[in-house]
Amino acid sequence: MTPSIVEIKDLSFRYNGQNVLEDVNLDVRKGDFVAMIGPNGGGKTTLLKLMLGLLEPDRGRIRILGKTTESASHHIGYVPQDVHINRSFPITALDIVLMGKLGPKKWWARRRSSVHQEALAALERLEIASHANKKIGELSGGQLQRVFIARALVTDPLLLLLDEPTASIDTKGQAEFFRLLKELNRDVTILVVSHDLLAVSAHVKAIACVNKHVHYHDEAQITGEMLESMYPCAGEEVCPVELLVQGFPHRIPEIP
């Protein structure tokens, strides 16, 4: 049996007295490429932060590679939704990736030629090595996002967590971006939070619907019923899901 990378059992988390996640169970195995979809406020980013050990569950447990989140942190690469960076700061794409090799007592790491080569190799994997010496202000949103992923990959993680990685990429570049992630999935297990439903359906292997609870679907096909359960709306409102599911295999039944 393929070994588990992420094991979440009976997890619940509250914030300011409100239930954010309830009774979550999730098993992600080596080589999976999972898209996490769901409404804003449904708990997707919170679930990623719990996997990273940035938050502690109120109940239940999380194991990464059979270890606690703290013990397994060096096996995880992470790209948050909002990377706050001054685009006018005189730093290159290569400098950004080299930061992934830094840590406590490792301020000197970037001086080693081997580390420099590892950073260039990470940029090569993201098909952006030709931009290594460009200032970040010269890069497009999609190019900069690839640089951030290269930074996350430079330590050879076994698990890559991405929170809305296509938010700064135009529609034309999103399909190409997910194609690239599919290539990376040959070597690393990937969990990606995304609202780009058409793109994830075409490239990922499984879907985790997150809306306080988590429903795992071991297939990439997104159905109308799946969206209906994740994006509920009141009967007197126009449901935005009716627009989203056009073109998907199943339509959401009309709300009386």
**pLDDT over 80 (residue 234):** no
Six token digits for residue 211: 């809306």
**How do residues 178-197 score in pLDDT, each as one tens digit?**
888 989 999 999 999 987 77
Confidence at residue 140, expressed as pLDDT on a 0 to 100 scale: 87
**How do residues 30-49 score in pLDDT, each as one tens digit?**
999 998 988 888 899 999 99
Confidence at residue 65, expressed as pLDDT on a 0 to 100 scale: 94
d(CA 38, CA 49): 16
> Strand, coil or helix: what is 11?
strand
- Listed in sequence order, the DSSP H helices in the chain are 44-52, 93-98, 113-125, 141-153, 171-184, 197-203, 224-230, 241-244
Six token digits for residue 62: 């999380």
CATH fold of the domain at 4-222: Rossmann fold (3.40.50)
**How do residues 148-163 score in pLDDT, each as one tens digit?**
999 999 989 999 999 9
Where do the structural domains in the chain lie, given as residue ranges?
Answer: 4-222
Strands in 76-79's sheet, in edge-to-edge order, are: 76-79, 159-163, 189-193, 33-37, 206-211, 213-217
Give the closest residue to 147 by CA, choosing from 209, 85, 227, 218. 85
Q: What is the mean pLDDT of residues 83-97?
A: 83
Q: Read off the pTM.
A: 0.82
| pLDDT category of residue 222 using cuts at 50, 70 and 90 | low
Confidence at residue 13, expressed as pLDDT on a 0 to 100 scale: 97
**pLDDT over 90 (residue 101):** no
**pLDDT over 70 (residue 96):** yes
Q: What is the mean pLDDT of residues 23-28?
A: 94
Confidence at residue 147, expressed as pLDDT on a 0 to 100 scale: 92
Contact 6, 28 (CB under 8 A): yes
Parallel/antiparallel/unpaired status of strands 189-193 and 206-211: unpaired
Q: What is the mean pLDDT of residues 12-29?
A: 94
**pLDDT over 60 (residue 15):** yes
Percentage of the residues of the chain whose pLDDT score is greater than 70: 79
Strand (E) or helix (H) holding 18 = strand 18-29
